[in-house]
């Protein structure tokens, strides 16, 4: 009788484990980054016509307001921007090349794969025409559990906060320096001084996340993870990522695997590459005489 009971329990445990392994979910996230700093630069600029302003604002909306799909199971996940067709003629915009390069550093960048068991991630990125495969350890987030609660999409959520370093290749947290003493100086040199000289980026940012234990997976959008429930909202002060739809155990299972294309590089090496190229662009624009040569990756 004891052997029968033990065998029965092992069968039940095996069945539960199998069910857990087969578990999968899909979540849709809307990402929106504040552009107030950038829009303020257009005010009072007589060189920007209303038509140019509208075109720039439409482009900015495409860069700073995006939809992402998170496919996840208990251990792994992929986070990828929803594919959309460009409007007719959009790619021929005079701002097309620069905007495309900026868009690659605004939270997009292919498929973001993470494995919370191995605590690592892989993401494929394109920068200035070259493909990179960034492989690194997941950031350790020391979450502080808060007492506040709220509902998101019918799910009971709890608040958590954490402080983390800013990636130098993620320009969403970039700010314009607000030094009034240099305002006249900047205005007098506006034709020779690169706009990059007016930018700054914080070293650390505070993350506010809302997670639901009703979906007990330690997953979330981008590289957010480590909470006892799916993260339905994350905010870093400038960018808000909010879940708008959840489907648990969908009929059509997604293939959750890491991307493989691109030059393998660490996050630190990728950040250094981006900073180096941006500095080269700054120097090129500062000394150009109107016939600047295009930058190329090695």
Mean pLDDT of all residues in the chain? Answer: 77
For residue range 81-139, list pLDDT tens digits in order.
987 655 544 444 444 444 445 555 555 568 999 999 999 999 999 888 889 999 999 99
For 145-157, the pLDDT digits (tens) are 999 999 999 999 9
Higher pLDDT, 192 or 270: 270
Contact 265, 273 (CB under 8 A): yes
Q: How far apart are CA 54 and CA 132, in angstroms?
A: 33
Rg (CA), the chain: 23
Burial of 274 (0-12, 13-18, 19+ CB in 10 A): buried
What's the confidence (pLDDT) of residue 186?
A: 47
Q: What digits encode the pLDDT tens for the residues 259-284?
A: 999 999 999 999 999 888 878 877 77
pLDDT computed for residue 192 by the predictor: 43
Are the CB atoms for 113 and 78 separated by under 8 Å?
A: yes
Scored b (16 or more CB within 10 A) or e, 15-40 reads eeeeeeeeebbbbebbbebeeeebee
211, pLDDT greater than 60: yes
What is the pTM (predicted TM-score) of this model?
Answer: 0.77
The answer, yes or no, to whether residue 189 has pLDDT greater than 60, is no
Closest CA to 72 of 14, 17, 117, 31: 117
How much is the pLDDT for 177?
Answer: 63
What pLDDT score was predicted for residue 208? 98
Question: Which of 111, 100, 164 is closest to 134 using CA atoms?
Answer: 111
Of 116, 151, 46, nearest in space to 256 by CA: 116
Q: Could you tell me the pLDDT band of residue 213, with boundaries at 50, 70 and 90?
A: very high
Mean pLDDT for 207-233 is: 97
Report, as an integer, the average pLDDT of 174-202.
55
Residue owning tokens 């320096």? 177
Give me the residue spans of the domains in the chain. 24-287
């Amino acid at each position: 009788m004891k052997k029968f009971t033990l065998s029965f329990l092992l069968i039940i445990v095996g069945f539960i484990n199998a069910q857990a392994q087969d578990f999968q979910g899909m979540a849709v996230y809307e990402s929106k980054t504040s552009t107030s700093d950038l829009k303020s630069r257009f005010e009072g600029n007589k060189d920007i016509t209303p038509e140019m302003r509208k075109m720039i604002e439409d482009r900015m909306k495409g860069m700073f307001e995006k939809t992402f799909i998170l496919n996840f199971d208990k251990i792994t996940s992929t986070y990828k921007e929803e594919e959309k067709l460009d409007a007719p003629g959009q790619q021929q915009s005079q701002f097309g090349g620069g905007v495309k390069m900026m868009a690659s550093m605004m939270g997009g960048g292919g498929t973001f794969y993470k494995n919370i068991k191995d605590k690592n991630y892989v993401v494929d990125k394109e920068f200035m025409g070259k493909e990179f495969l960034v492989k690194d350890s997941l950031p350790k987030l020391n979450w502080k559990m808060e007492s506040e609660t709220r509902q998101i999409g019918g799910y009971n959520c709890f608040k958590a906060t954490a402080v983390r370093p800013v990636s130098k290749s993620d320009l969403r947290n970039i700010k314009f320096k607000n030094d009034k003493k240099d305002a006249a100086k900047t205005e007098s040199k506006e034709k020779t001084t690169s706009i990059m000289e007016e930018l700054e980026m914080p070293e650390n940012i505070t993350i506010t996340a809302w997670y639901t234990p009703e979906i007990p997976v330690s997953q979330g959008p981008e590289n957010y993870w480590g909470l006892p429930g799916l993260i339905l909202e994350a905010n870093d002060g400038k960018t808000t990522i909010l879940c708008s739809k959840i489907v648990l155990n969908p009929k059509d299972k997604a293939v959750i695997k890491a991307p493989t294309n691109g030059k393998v590089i660490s996050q630190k090496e990728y950040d250094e590459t981006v900073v180096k190229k941006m500095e080269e662009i700054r120097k090129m624009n500062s000394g150009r005489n109107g016939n600047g040569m295009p930058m190329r990756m090695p």
